[in-house]
Structure 1
């Protein structure tokens, strides 16, 4: 995105504005996030460097993270004798993929 183009919509629907145009477009960008329910991003040299998200999206991400952490703990607490079952092995494999980014 060229610096003089203001707010642009990326292919994934995120409103983007370059850091050099951020001050001039900040109010419009925040309104798009607040009233349009869209995520926005500040970019530097065409790469996203920071995001602005609607309050509900932020709240949901925190709740989702707590749920995932609780599920990971539950998987870690599967008794040793049950870890040999297929469902437990699958859960443990899934947990490892989440934790290690596979």
Structure 2
């Protein structure tokens, strides 16, 4: 199992004062910083690699949604069950790998 990465929170004004550090954490340690404005989440600073992967993931999810839209309810149910079963297998494999 992968180790969870640290997630930071900072007010925008505070992050501005240590912007180089915030960028380095995102870029080299893969640690995102949630930028807060008036106590609410405003944005997240992440590495460029994470951003690019998120764009690819979104495109894949949109393509899957379009493809599922062309299926009957019965076909969608079969696909959902297949995906659920595969996810359970992956979770099990990941958990077994962590125990080694």
Q: TM-score, normalised by structure 2?
A: 0.63
- In the TM superposition, 1:1-102 aligns within 5 A as 13-78=6-71, 83=72, 85=74, 87-89=75-77
Where relative contact order (Cα < 8 A, 6+ residues apart) is larger, the structure is 2
Runs of 5+ consecutive residues of structure 1 not aligned to the other structure: 1-11, 93-102
Runs (4+) off by over 6 Å = none
Runs of 5+ consecutive residues of structure 2 not aligned to the other structure: 81-100
> How many matched pairs?
76
Q: TM-score, normalised by structure 1?
A: 0.62
C-alpha distance after superposition, 1:2-45 (max 9, x if no partner):
xxxxxxxxxx8311221221221111111111111111121123
Q: Is the helix fraction higher in 1 or 2? A: 2
Q: For the pair shown, which has the larger CA radius of gyration, 1 or 2?
A: 1
